[in-house]
Amino acid sequence: MELNKKSVDDINVKGKRVLCRCDFNVPLKDGKITDENRLVAALPTIKKLIADGGKVILCSHLGKVKTEEDKKTKTLAPVAKRLSELLGQEVKFAADPEVVGPNAKAAVAAMKDGDVVLLENTRFRPEETKNGEAFSKDLASLADVFVNDAFGTAHRSHCSNVGVAEELRKEGKPAVVGYLMQKEIDYLGKAVEDPVRPFVAILGGAKVADKLNVISNLLEKCDTLIIGGGMAYTFIKAQGYSVGKSLCDDSKIDYCKEMMEKAKKLGKKLLLPVDAVIVDDFPDPIDGDVDTEVVDVTAIPDGKEACDIGPKTAEMFANEVASAKTVVWNGPMGVFENPTLAAGTLKVAQALADSDATTIIGGGDSAAAVNQMGLGSKMSHISTGGGASLEFLEGKELPGIAAADEK
Ligand code: AMP
């Protein structure tokens, strides 16, 4: 993928209508924002566009919109209010159910340089997630320039990140990336294309089928691939051991065998757990009390479930991280939501925190784990997109990035 994209530093937005796709997909409870990290993260690009005298039109999706009822609870109105406070200037909310309607058009027509307008949740339009032409054209009609700063949706081809850029390109108008997107491209792109070695990649978590596909590409790029979490037990079974009730995707056993062969052929280290923390039943509630036992992965009894890597494995993984110069981590090593099953994830997180390597956390649950452990600030980069960062690591072209102009 061509990653040398034009950014907000490469264009002149003075007096222009700038449509900026942000990721304002924040958690809401009773209409109140419960975590505003995504708003804070969007500020640098927005402030830059204001300072440069653009007419800044913000847009984003918020959750999934399936019913009319969703339209009441998934409005971006609370985001406009909070953004106004964070920016110290009014963010005018254009409350159109069709997103680009009379309110939006009037608000944009009345804008002065440096003003900010926020459009309604882009998913109020059913065409949004289908990259339908009508909504892409509506969005493009509001803009002279498009800025995409929403990495979390970059792996999707939607109107507000891809269709609108294509419409504007037809008119010779620029589509560039914002600072957040640029940072993702810089960190993930460098890790995949030109890492400082040794490059250690760590995969864990529960979405076995999703992540197995990343393995093939990562094996070609990294020096060591570490597999922990629920991912590991399909491999353990592929080695001929039984895994009890542990997570396992039987349809991928042959694939795991192929990957172990591939690692051997390429001369890459593939590290799998040697011991595991087992329980009788998956904890319910997830943070409820559990009795645990540590066993070798070659001796997981029938009826038991491996829910964390064992201490020998944690030590081995941490040692590998200690000698790395680039580390990419996606997915926890165990059921970290439960304090009794979090030790493996904590040990690996601490190893990354203590390392002087470039450390990249691939979003989603690993980001939550690192933040929960208070180690977020010790990482070089925490990706804002779980799914997007995985597809990036798979070597796929992300449509949201591809749609931006090249330098
Ligand atoms: P993912 O979204 O694929 O990164 O998966 C994250 C989830 O994986 C977390 O909620 C963990 O509790 C879960 N997880 C990690 N290791 C295991 C395991 N060995 N068995 C079951 N679930 C796990």
Could you tell which of 307, 313, 337, 366 is best to mutate to test the pocket of ligand 1, judged by most ligand atoms within 8 Å of the CB?
Answer: 307
Task: Give tens-digit pLDDT for 271-294.
Answer: 999 999 999 999 999 999 999 999
The first and second tokens of residue 22, run together, are: 């942000």
Could you tell which of 236, 335, 371 is best to mutate to test the pocket of ligand 1, judged by most ligand atoms within 8 Å of the CB?
Answer: 335
Question: Which of 142-156, 248-262, 314-328, 386-400 shows the lowest mean pLDDT across its residues?
Answer: 386-400
Task: Report CA(182)–ligand 1 centroid distance (Å).
Answer: 29
Closest CA to 328 of 297, 299, 307, 359: 359
CA distances from 187 to 29, 194, 226, 357 (A): 33, 10, 20, 12
Task: Give tens-digit pLDDT for 36-59.
Answer: 989 999 999 999 999 999 999 999
Using CB atoms within 10 A of its CB, is residue 193 exposed (0-12), middle (13-18) or buried (19+)?
exposed
pLDDT category at 405 given cuts 50, 70, 90 is: very high
- Rounded to two decimals, what is the model's pTM? 0.90
| 312 carries a ligand binding annotation | no
Cα gap 225→308, rounded to integer Å: 18
- Of 207, 221, 237, 245, the active-site residue reads 207
Predicted local confidence at residue 399, as pLDDT: 97
**Computed over its alpha carbons, how large is the radius of gyration of the chain?**
23
Q: Check if the beta carbon of residue 393 is closer than 8 Å to that of residue 330.
A: yes
Q: Is the peptide bond before 285 cis (omega within 30 degrees of 0)?
A: yes
Cα gap 36→40, rounded to integer Å: 6
Predicted local confidence at residue 202, as pLDDT: 96
Mean pLDDT over residues 397-407, rounded? 95
In CATH, the number for domain 8-179 is 3.40.50.1260
* The 3-state secondary structure of 219-258, one letter per residue: HHHCCEEEECHHHHHHHHHHCCCCCCCCCCCHHHHHHHHH
Q: How far does the chain reach from its first CA to its final CA, in angstroms?
A: 14
Residue 306 Cβ inside 6 Å of ligand 1? The answer reads yes
Q: Check if the beta carbon of residue 335 is closer than 8 Å to that of residue 368.
A: no
pLDDT higher than threshold 60 for residue 1: no
| 86 carries a ligand binding annotation | no
Q: Is the peptide bond before 198 cis (omega within 30 degrees of 0)?
A: yes
pLDDT higher than threshold 70 for residue 156: yes
Cα gap 175→95, rounded to integer Å: 25
User: Which residue intervals of the chain bear CATH 3.40.50.1260?
Assistant: 8-179, 186-393
pLDDT higher than threshold 60 for residue 136: yes
Topology of domain 186-393, CATH: Rossmann fold (3.40.50)
